[in-house]
Amino acid sequence: MIKGVQNAPTQASLPLKKASATQASSQVENKDKSLQAINSHITVLLEEAVDALAVKSDGVYVDGTFGRGGHSRKILARLGGNGRLIAFDRDLSAVESGKAIHDVRFTIVHSHFSALQAKLAELGIRKVDGILLDLGISSPQIDEASRGFSFRFDAPLDMRMDQSRGLTVAEYLATATEQHLGEVIKNYGEERFAKQIARTIVAQRNDGHAITTTGQLAKIVAGAVTRFEPGQNPATRTFQALRIFINQELEELSLTMPQCLSLLAPQGRLAVISFHSLEDRMVKQFIRNQENTDHLPANFPVRAADLPLPKLKSVGKAIKPSLAEIKANPRSRSAVLRVAERTSAI
């Protein structure tokens, strides 16, 4: 019993009218809470990623994936009065939430990060001291049913991070060939039943059943997948694949990493958090290729001094969330942070 409130009425003991007023206010409170939940994102590897940037007080930094600004706020807290932070997000609601940061050192840009160099040039910025990419989607995107990212809800099948442009998944499914669909699901979802899923989707479509909701898609996939990891929804891999494809996530990353090389000043840091092996492999490979510039066949007659100088040096090993972080935020479980430092090579 709570001290001092032994005689506090329970809801059941209140007269009916009073009880409904309480119910109404608790409904409002619950709605507020669920809106809050939809609007909040628990930042993954917060300390680790911002530490990795080795923020200099008067440095210029880029957060390529603002989300709800967890990393951005921490970077701002470490910057001095002359520092600058430019944040990007392709999602309009993320950008809206960024507008709540009233800080002269901070700028938020609505753009995909593959336009990094061009957008920074428009702001008169040619060199930066650190770039952070926290890839993938945010909790508000997954948890807002109408965005169509999740099989937990039945909602229009959209999945675009930037709802101001591009095809929705429903539009893609309406026209994709069976072969293209199969390749997307196999390559981006590493799904072994990709062919069967593609065949079933196209058969449904040819029978006149347009696939326009997450619920319909999840049901079709569940019918085509006969084996999947325990505890996992059979549609997990297909949803991941379609999301990656529709948002061109891998293309975005491969277009952006070379720009980071050009933008980073010597000793500038690149920190990338990936959430699946396809991205992590790309990041690892990119850093490795820039670090080890000898890509010539063994015994190729070239002097070591004639090889191009490495442009990146990796910093430490890949960092994963601690067990405590995973327990507090299970969505962090697949995160991997890789960090590299720009050398002075041109």
Ligand X SMILES: C[S@@+](CC[C@H](N)C(=O)[O-])C[C@H]1O[C@@H](n2cnc3c(N)ncnc32)[C@H](O)[C@@H]1O
60-63 sheet: strands from edge to edge:
106-110, 84-89, 60-63, 128-134, 264-274, 336-342, 312-314
Only segment of 28-36, 69-77, 289-297, 305-313 that touches ligand X (CB under 6 A): 69-77
Binding residue for ligand X, selected from 48, 52, 68, 186, defined by CB under 6 A: 68
| Residue from the set 62, 109, 138, 245 that interacts with ligand X by CB under 6 A | 138
Task: Say if CB 60 and CB 125 are below 8 A apart.
Answer: yes
Pick from 38, 48, 70, 109 the residue near ligand X by CB under 6 A. 70
Alpha helices in the chain (DSSP H): 16-38, 46-52, 70-78, 92-98, 116-122, 139-143, 169-175, 178-189, 194-206, 214-224, 236-246, 249-263, 277-291, 323-328
Window of 19-27, 134-142, 148-156, 307-315 that interacts with ligand X by CB under 6 A: 134-142
Contact between 268 and ligand X per CB under 6 A: no
Q: How many CB atoms lie within 10 A of CB 80?
A: 11
Min dist CB 186 to ligand X, Å, is 22
Interaction between residue 191 and ligand X (CB under 6 A):
no
Binder of ligand X out of 84, 90, 269, 276 (CB under 6 A): 90
- Does residue 147 bind ligand X (CB under 6 A)? no
Q: Which stretch binds ligand X (CB under 6 A): 63-71, 184-192, 221-229, 261-269?
A: 63-71
DSSP 99-149: TT---TTEEEEES-GGGHHHHHHHTT---EEEEEEE-S--HHHHH-GGG--
Q: Could you say whether residue 41 binds ligand X (CB under 6 A)?
A: yes
Q: Which stretch binds ligand X (CB under 6 A): 19-27, 67-75, 216-224, 319-327?
A: 67-75
Structure tokens at 148: 């169509």
Question: Given the rule CB under 6 A, which residues bind ligand X?
Answer: 41, 43, 65, 67-71, 88-91, 94, 112-113, 134, 136-138, 161, 252
